[in-house]
Amino acid sequence: MRGRWPAKRLLVATVAVLLLMTTAAVTLVVVSLGTLADSRVRAIDQIEPASRHAQDLTRALLDQETGVRGFALTGQQDFLQPYFDGQKQQEASTSGVRSLIGDSGGALTRITEYSARWRAEYAEPAIERIRSTGPGLVQAGDQDQAKVAFDRIRSELTALTEDLSRTSQQAKSDLDDSAQTVLLLSIVMGAFLVLLIGGVALVLHRILVTPLAQLAEEVRQVASGEFHHEIDVRGPHEVVRLATDVNGMRRRIVQELSKLDEQSAELQRSNAELEQFAYVASHDLQEPLRKVASFCQLLQRRYGGQLDERADQYIEFAVDGAKRMQGLINDLLAFSRVGRITREHTIVDTGVLVSQVLDSYSERIEETGATITVGELPSVRGEASLLSAVFQNLVSNALKFRGERPEIFIDAARTDDYWTFTFRDNGIGIDSEYAERIFVIFQRLHPKDAYPGTGIGLAMCRKIIEYHGGTIRLKTDDEHHTTFEFTLPVVEETEETDD
């Protein structure tokens, strides 16, 4: 390890070399591409259009000569049209060549000068003479002079065309050279990058991948349960420090596991005591409590009306207290059994379950005149008896804390992987500030004289729903109804079919 660079420094150096050499290669390619673009512009966008303008210039001058000859032979004014059009075309073509490549060797200037002299010395006088005297033979001397003058123009046009041809060939040659240079540089840069990337990959594999793979293997050993396995990895400083950190975390996990073992033992002891208490409450406490309630009831029957009014009231309080104590103990036992005494979970049709619950409350529903609407309810996985207790508690509360004409609505809708059940009634309602308190065991919002009960029903509902993997809450945004929503996991179709 001593004298070796850390992985960070090696990576920085490697990336720096890669960037420098790539920048140099890219710069060369960019310069070559610039030269290629310039050659292309000169060859395609300048010289070729200039050659076309030169051809147009040649045709324009030939049209002028042809027009003058035709007019000289016929005297007809229509034959002069090519002469005048040729002058316009000559001016446009000359400007086009000049704007693209300039006046190479002064050829354009000489052509303009010679053509102007030809028109002034021969063409214009000949046209005026023919207009005055009519068509006829042109004098031989004048014709020879005109031919000599126009031959000069042809000579300059030929020189201009040859110069443009040579320039075009040179531009094409430069374009080919630039393309070859760009291609060669691209091949060299590609090969260089392949070699460089391969070298970087080899270095990274040696300084990072191999040590990290070894570290991962060591960590997997620890993750498999060998928490006392000491991790020893050689490599860059960063990997060694990471291994040290993992070792420190492993030691803390070992310490926490030892604490968890102690807490687990304590929890098992506490659960054993709780089970013992439940046994005592369900057997040892119930028997004397039943005796107290029975004898209080005997006193009430035998001596009711024989003692004073206060004694009758005391006996009634004792009987009522014994009955409520029995209800509290039974409810507490039922609450403690949720999730502790488990039965096999099966597919439960909640629609059938709700129908059974409503049948059990049929007399109470008829007595209160309640209207109950049940939507399409799904099948879920769970303990039928516990889920039935949820609907029993909600229906019982809706009938207990009812309005003038009770209305109950039960429905369910799927939300992702859960069914959301909605239970709504038009009872006396619950203030939003008590939205959490109502789910606490033995918490009551009304005096026991106003509404009977132990205050454990909604706490039981929450424990049952959470035991089945869902949640339950009171909707606080519905001012006109009391609405409970609870969720239960969706049962896949294949799972439901198997069951």
Strands 371-374 and 407-415: parallel
Helix (H, G, I), strand (E, B) or coil at 414: strand
Whole-number pLDDT of residue 401: 75
Contacts of 54 (CB under 8 A, 6+ apart): 93, 97, 157, 160, 161, 164
- Map tokens 């009304």 to a residue: 446
- HSE of 285 in the Cβ direction (CA atoms, 13 Å)? 16
Size of the chain, expressed as the number of residues it contains: 499
Whole-number pLDDT of residue 219: 76
Contacts of 387 (CB under 8 A, 6+ apart): 348, 350, 353, 380, 464, 468
Whose CA is closest to 86, among 113, 126, 55, 59? Answer: 59
Between CA 204 and CA 14 the distance in angstroms is: 9
Query: Between vectors from CA 39 to CA 38 and to CA 41, what angle results, nearest 5°?
Result: 65
Whole-number pLDDT of residue 436: 74
Helix intervals (H) in 280-414: 286-303, 309-337, 350-360, 362-368, 384-400
Strand (E) or helix (H) holding 419: strand 418-425
| Sequential pLDDT tens for the chain (499 residues) | 444 566 666 667 777 777 777 777 777 777 767 776 776 776 677 777 877 887 887 888 888 788 888 877 787 888 788 888 888 888 888 888 778 778 767 777 888 888 888 888 788 887 888 888 877 555 544 666 777 777 777 777 787 777 777 777 777 777 777 777 777 877 887 787 788 777 777 766 766 677 777 777 777 777 777 767 777 766 666 667 777 777 777 778 778 777 887 877 777 776 666 666 666 665 566 667 677 777 777 777 777 667 677 777 777 777 766 666 666 666 566 656 565 555 677 888 988 989 988 888 888 888 888 888 888 888 998 888 888 888 888 888 888 877 778 888 999 998 888 999 998 888 776 766 666 777 776 555 555 544 555 567 788 888 888 888 898 888 877 666 788 889 999 887 655 555 5
Between CA 381 and CA 383 the distance in angstroms is: 7
pTM score, whole prediction = 0.43
- Map tokens 């596991």 to a residue: 257
Phi-psi region of 152 (alpha: psi -120 to 50; beta: other; left: phi over 0): alpha
User: Exposed, middle or buried by CB within 10 Å (0-12, 13-18, 19+), for 16?
Assistant: exposed
Between CA 177 and CA 32 the distance in angstroms is: 10
Q: Residues 180, 33: contact at Cβ < 8 Å?
A: no
Contacts of 212 (CB under 8 A, 6+ apart): 235, 239
- Concatenating the DSSP letter of every residue in 128-152 gives HHHHHH-S-PPPHHHHHHHHHHHHH
Whole-number pLDDT of residue 207: 67
Whose CA is closest to 218, among 204, 239, 236, 237? Answer: 239
User: Exposed, middle or buried by CB within 10 Å (0-12, 13-18, 19+), for 207?
Assistant: buried
Whose CA is closest to 162, among 230, 104, 99? Answer: 104
Whole-number pLDDT of residue 39: 66
Whole-number pLDDT of residue 208: 66
Contacts of 250 (CB under 8 A, 6+ apart): 222, 227, 229, 231
Whole-number pLDDT of residue 278: 61
Q: What's 234's DSSP letter?
A: -
